[in-house]
Chain A
Amino acid sequence: MSSIELREVGKSFGELRAVDGLSLEAPAGAIVALLGPSGCGKTTTLRLIAGFERPDTGTISVGGRLLAGPDGFVAPERRRVGVVFQDYALFPHLDVAGNVAYALGRDPDPNRVRDVLELVGLDPVGGRAVHELSGGQQQRVALARALAPTPELILLDEPFSNLDAGLRERLREEVVAIIRAAGVTALFVTHDQAEALSIAETVAVMRAGRIEQVGTPEEIYSRPASPWVAGFLGDIEVVPGEAASGRVVCELGSMPAEQGVEGPVDVMIRPESVAVGLSGPQNAADAEVVGRRFYGHDQLIHLRLPSGHVVRSRRLGFPSWHEGDRVRAWIDGPTDVLPRA
């Protein structure tokens, strides 16, 4: 049974179509990332699911229950959908335990409060004021508060964007573990590609109010559905090629073509799939190093191919290449072939 089901959902603010006929489905227990650049409508989508906004068109169901559609609208307090806000939105006048207990209604069970605080790795007494807590701890309180009433679905809006880089990495792992332990379906909104790819089981890439592509992180990264998705997920090189009788040939080499693909194509190659060496396989291209950026554990080498086309290659930090070096370059990794638009 699918836990989240959005069908043709639309929402406009005045002239702006924030969400434009969006459809998305995810099974119960899944961890889904809604990934897109800022202003693409991902936070609006989250607010529509939470019930803070009413959709103009389409239907929203969670756990098989219709929450919003042309015939009805369920108020946010009746949705059993937990929300973790970007700024956490903790209740400043209540202590840690008070924030969690608030989620449990008028007669909260103190044992449940303790259990949830323990689940997120906080002091089960919870007597501290929320403004005394660090950002990471506030994040945990927000998560505990959202999980306490055992919601059907938990929504997280840019949950890690307010934390500094080191803490972010660690907390991501922990939050995913907590969500798994709670067994709840989770949808989180992010603009950070690495975050979406590393913690979600399903990534939905969003652009201008619509879903561009849904898939596993691997699929999205190595087989992007459009040049835009490819570029949004990371550096990409587009090399022109020609498909004929089951093979694609481009300047950097050849690869098998999908059935039915013929004629001019675009071969999309991630820089880490471009290998560089003094000698290479037979179909490698001659190239000249025209630039280099050193980043410590890796380096980005700009290569000019005989056609004049410049591609980038990401390699480990050593050996180091220098401008003017004459090298060979070839494809060493997954590529994606799209018919030329």
Chain B
Amino acid sequence: MLRSIGLTAAVTVSAIAIAVPLGWLTVRTDLPGRRTWTVAAALPLVIPSYIGAYAFLSAVGPEGLLAGMLSPLGIERLPSITGFPGAWLTLTLFTYPFVLLPVRATLRRSDPLLEEAALAMGRGEREVFRSIVLPQLVPAIGAGSLLVALYVLSDFGAVSIMRFDSFTTSIYTLYQASFDRTSAAALAALLVGLMGVLLWLEARTRRSEALYRSAPGAARRPRTVALGRWRAAALGFCGAVAFLALLLPVTVLVYWSTRSFAGEVDWSEVASAAANSLLASGLAALVAALCAIPVAVLVVRFRGSFSTSVERLSYTGHALPGIVVALALVFFGTRVAIGLYQTLAMLIFAFVVLFLPLAVGVTRASLLQVSPRVEEAARSLGRSPFEVLRTITGPLIASGVLAGGALVFLTAIKELPATLILAPIGFETLATEIWGATNVGFFERGAIPSLVLLAVSAGPLYLLSARE
């Protein structure tokens, strides 16, 4: 438990250390190629942590790429990156966008007048950043770093690949090792408690966020700071982050996959894993998108204590780590719904429980843009409520529902622990293939599924980004 908390703290701090300078550089300075850096800096978010971990391990781990390159030079042993350093590095590199995005948003909408006032009082740029800009960023950093902390606590893939014993891997080992699953359940309950504390903290920072918002009508563009002689250093920093978080993993994957072409690729296995991934995530996306519509309608159109609790209930899933939900469903499946245990239906149910909030959030946002007056107009023109939903509300929120489904698909296809625990026997997905390959040290075997997974994610990702 202490190890998990230590890792969480370390990753959170280093994610902030990367994200805040990066956010400031891409929003508020004359950094060359700001737009490109912006996109590149956010992209690591879509790489599942276990693919990142796998790429690092296969690059610089024992028997990895680097070791292979160095052995002719007589260097036999590399410092090991498994354990804490590896978990720390990979989780930092693939979670810092959680902090970067809110920091950027705050920097973009903050009122330049405040900074200009400070400059006019004779403060230097550095002093202005410390005394004016940074305090405004506190809520954004707080919200973002709590997301990072939640992610790290519930992460299973990266830590298990890096052989770092954390909460989630202990739960998994306990679950695998014994028939008595109560100890796994006890540990899971502890994890949920810890996440509850974090969520409570997050809710508190959200409440204070309003204090820091600039006055409405402050529509001026934020100030740009000239970097001058720091330009090269800034470029080097951005480049290093992009190299480690984006370029390196992708290159390594491509390298291993070309290597595996030389050997034997079991294409049928890859194809069946891809098909299973598509099937499970696609069905989950479909079910979640459809379930999101009534929840969103209830929440937006009928405000009341009942609808608020339905909304809350659908959000609890989001706060629960995949492994906890999976474990709960194992208990449910082995005790209550015995026919459902280890069926595809159970897996999809778990996905929907975990990711429904994502779909509800997007659907709710698009429904909020539909004026209730428009629905009332349709009612007064002789259409029943259901007819109105079909002909007016439905078409108007369709793109939101679609985006919600795409988001669920993206998230479900990456989900590892729930898939490992709940998938029917013999039901291999891309995620389990990658995990299995790295677990036994066959780096070649994991590369192609990883690339396929990234490629399959590109479609929904494009769909999502095209909306903005």
**Majority SS at the chain B contact face:** helix
Return chain A residues, CB-CB under 8 Å to B384: 75, 77
> What would be 16 A-B contacts, judged by CB atoms less than 8 Å apart?
A52-B379, A75-B384, A77-B379, A77-B383, A79-B380, A83-B376, A83-B377, A87-B373, A89-B371, A89-B374, A91-B377, A102-B381, A103-B382, A145-B381, A146-B380, A149-B382
Q: In A86-119, which residues have CB < 8 Å from any B CB? A: 86-87, 89-93, 102-103, 105
Return chain B residues, CB-CB under 8 Å to A105: 382
| Complex A-B, nearest 6 residue pairs according to Cβ-Cβ distance, in ascending order | A89-B373, A76-B379, A89-B377, A103-B381, A83-B380, A89-B374
The answer, yes or no, to whether B392 is at the interface (CB within 8 Å) is yes
New A-B contacts (18) at CB < 8 Å, excluding given A93-B395, A103-B382: A50-B380, A51-B380, A52-B376, A76-B380, A77-B383, A80-B382, A82-B380, A83-B377, A83-B380, A87-B371, A90-B377, A91-B374, A102-B378, A102-B391, A103-B381, A142-B377, A145-B377, A146-B381
Contact (Cβ within 8 A) B382 A85: no
Return chain B residues, CB-CB under 8 Å to A89: 371, 373-374, 376-377
Q: In A232-269, which residues have CB < 8 Å from any B CB? A: none
Contact (Cβ within 8 A) A50 B376: yes
Return chain A residues, CB-CB under 8 Å to B381: 77, 82, 102-103, 145-146, 149
The answer, yes or no, to whether B254 is at the interface (CB within 8 Å) is no
| Residue interface mask A201-220, B partner, CB < 8 A = 1 | 00000000000000000000
The answer, yes or no, to whether B396 is at the interface (CB within 8 Å) is yes
Q: How far is the CA of A89 from the CA of B380 in the complex (A)?
A: 12
Q: In B18-39, which residues have CB < 8 Å from any A CB? A: none
Q: How far is the CA of A51 from the CA of B383 in the complex (A)?
A: 13
Q: In A57-90, which residues have CB < 8 Å from any B CB? A: 75-83, 85-87, 89-90
Q: Knowing A93-B395, A105-B382 touch, does A76 contact B376 (C-beta < 8 A)? A: yes
| Residue interface mask B222-256, A partner, CB < 8 A = 1 | 00000000000000000000000000000000000
**In the complex, what's the smallest C-beta–C-beta distance from A208 to chain B, in angstroms?**
25
Contact (Cβ within 8 A) B382 A91: no
**In the complex, what's the smallest C-beta–C-beta distance from A304 to chain B, in angstroms?**
44
Q: How far is the CA of A82 from the CA of B377 in the complex (A)?
A: 8
| Residue interface mask B367-404, A partner, CB < 8 A = 1 | 00001011011111111100100011001100000000
Contact (Cβ within 8 A) A77 B382: yes
Binding site for A on B (CB under 8 A): 371, 373-374, 376-384, 387, 391-392, 395-396
Return chain A residues, CB-CB under 8 Å to B376: 50, 52, 76, 83, 85, 89
Q: Count chain A residues whose beta carbon lies closer than 8 angstroms to a beta carbon of B.
A: 27
**In the complex, what's the smallest C-beta–C-beta distance from A77 to chain B, in angstroms?**
5
Contact (Cβ within 8 A) B396 A85: no
Q: How far is the CA of A90 from the CA of B396 in the complex (A)?
A: 12
Binding site for B on A (CB under 8 A): 50-52, 75-83, 85-87, 89-93, 102-103, 105, 142, 145-146, 149
Q: Considering only CB atoms, which chain A residue lies closest to B384 in the complex?
A: A77
Contact (Cβ within 8 A) B378 A85: no
Return chain A residues, CB-CB under 8 Å to B382: 77-78, 80, 103, 105, 149
Return chain B residues, CB-CB under 8 Å to A103: 381-382
Return chain A residues, CB-CB under 8 Å to B396: 92-93
**In the complex, what's the smallest C-beta–C-beta distance from B213 to chain A, in angstroms?**
27
Of B376, B379, B381, chain A has the most CB atoms within 10 Å of the CB of B381
Q: How far is the CA of A80 from the CA of B382 in the complex (A)?
A: 7
Q: Considering only CB atoms, which chain B residue lies closest to A157 in the complex?
A: B373
Of A51, A78, A82, A89, chain B has the most CB atoms within 10 Å of the CB of A89
Return chain B residues, CB-CB under 8 Å to A142: 377
Contact (Cβ within 8 A) B380 A81: yes
Return chain B residues, CB-CB under 8 Å to A92: 374, 396
Q: Considering only CB atoms, which chain A residue lies closest to B398 in the complex?
A: A93
Contact (Cβ within 8 A) A85 B383: no
Q: How far is the CA of A87 from the CA of B371 in the complex (A)?
A: 10
Q: How far is the CA of A92 from the CA of B379 in the complex (A)?
A: 16
Q: How far is the CA of A105 from the CA of B391 in the complex (A)?
A: 11
**In the complex, what's the smallest C-beta–C-beta distance from B182 to chain A, in angstroms?**
49
Contact (Cβ within 8 A) B380 A77: yes
Q: How far is the CA of A91 from the CA of B383 in the complex (A)?
A: 14
**In the complex, what's the smallest C-beta–C-beta distance from B373 to chain A, in angstroms?**
4
Return chain B residues, CB-CB under 8 Å to A82: 380-381
Q: Considering only CB atoms, which chain A residue lies closest to B387 in the complex?
A: A77
Q: Knowing A77-B384, A93-B395, A93-B396 touch, does A85 contact B373 (C-beta < 8 A)? A: yes
Contact (Cβ within 8 A) A85 B377: yes
Return chain B residues, CB-CB under 8 Å to A79: 380
Q: How far is the CA of A80 from the CA of B396 in the complex (A)?
A: 25
**In the complex, what's the smallest C-beta–C-beta distance from A107 to chain B, in angstroms?**
13
**In the complex, what's the smallest C-beta–C-beta distance from A186 to chain B, in angstroms?**
14
**In the complex, what's the smallest C-beta–C-beta distance from B202 to chain A, in angstroms?**
32
Return chain A residues, CB-CB under 8 Å to B392: 91
Q: How far is the CA of A146 from the CA of B395 in the complex (A)?
A: 21
**In the complex, what's the smallest C-beta–C-beta distance from B105 to chain A, in angstroms?**
27
Q: How far is the CA of A102 from the CA of B374 in the complex (A)?
A: 12
**In the complex, what's the smallest C-beta–C-beta distance from B398 to chain A, in angstroms?**
9
Q: Considering only CB atoms, which chain A residue lies closest to B395 in the complex?
A: A93
Return chain B residues, CB-CB under 8 Å to A90: 374, 377
Q: How far is the CA of A92 from the CA of B397 in the complex (A)?
A: 11
Return chain B residues, CB-CB under 8 Å to A80: 382
Return chain A residues, CB-CB under 8 Å to B387: 77
Q: Considering only CB atoms, which chain B residue lies closest to A82 in the complex?
A: B380
Return chain B residues, CB-CB under 8 Å to A87: 371, 373
Q: How far is the CA of A79 from the CA of B380 in the complex (A)?
A: 7
Q: Considering only CB atoms, which chain B residue lies closest to A103 in the complex?
A: B381
Q: Considering only CB atoms, which chain B residue lies closest to A52 in the complex?
A: B376
**In the complex, what's the smallest C-beta–C-beta distance from B369 to chain A, in angstroms?**
10
Return chain A residues, CB-CB under 8 Å to B380: 50-51, 76-77, 79, 81-83, 146
Q: How far is the CA of A259 from the CA of B209 in the complex (A)?
A: 69
**In the complex, what's the smallest C-beta–C-beta distance from A116 to chain B, in angstroms?**
13
Q: How far is the CA of A93 from the CA of B374 in the complex (A)?
A: 11
**In the complex, what's the smallest C-beta–C-beta distance from B383 to chain A, in angstroms?**
6
Q: How far is the CA of A78 from the CA of B395 in the complex (A)?
A: 24
Return chain B residues, CB-CB under 8 Å to A83: 376-377, 380
Of B373, B383, B387, B391, chain A has the most CB atoms within 10 Å of the CB of B373
**In the complex, what's the smallest C-beta–C-beta distance from B421 to chain A, in angstroms?**
43
Of B371, B379, B387, chain A has the most CB atoms within 10 Å of the CB of B379
Q: Considering only CB atoms, which chain A residue lies closest to B391 in the complex?
A: A102
Q: Considering only CB atoms, which chain B residue lies closest to A105 in the complex?
A: B382
Return chain A residues, CB-CB under 8 Å to B377: 83, 85, 89-91, 142, 145
**In the complex, what's the smallest C-beta–C-beta distance from A98 to chain B, in angstroms?**
10
Q: How far is the CA of A81 from the CA of B382 in the complex (A)?
A: 9
Contact (Cβ within 8 A) A91 B373: no
Q: How far is the CA of A222 from the CA of B33 in the complex (A)?
A: 72
**In the complex, what's the smallest C-beta–C-beta distance from B63 to chain A, in angstroms?**
58
Q: How far is the CA of A93 from the CA of B383 in the complex (A)?
A: 17
Q: Considering only CB atoms, which chain B residue lies closest to A102 in the complex?
A: B381
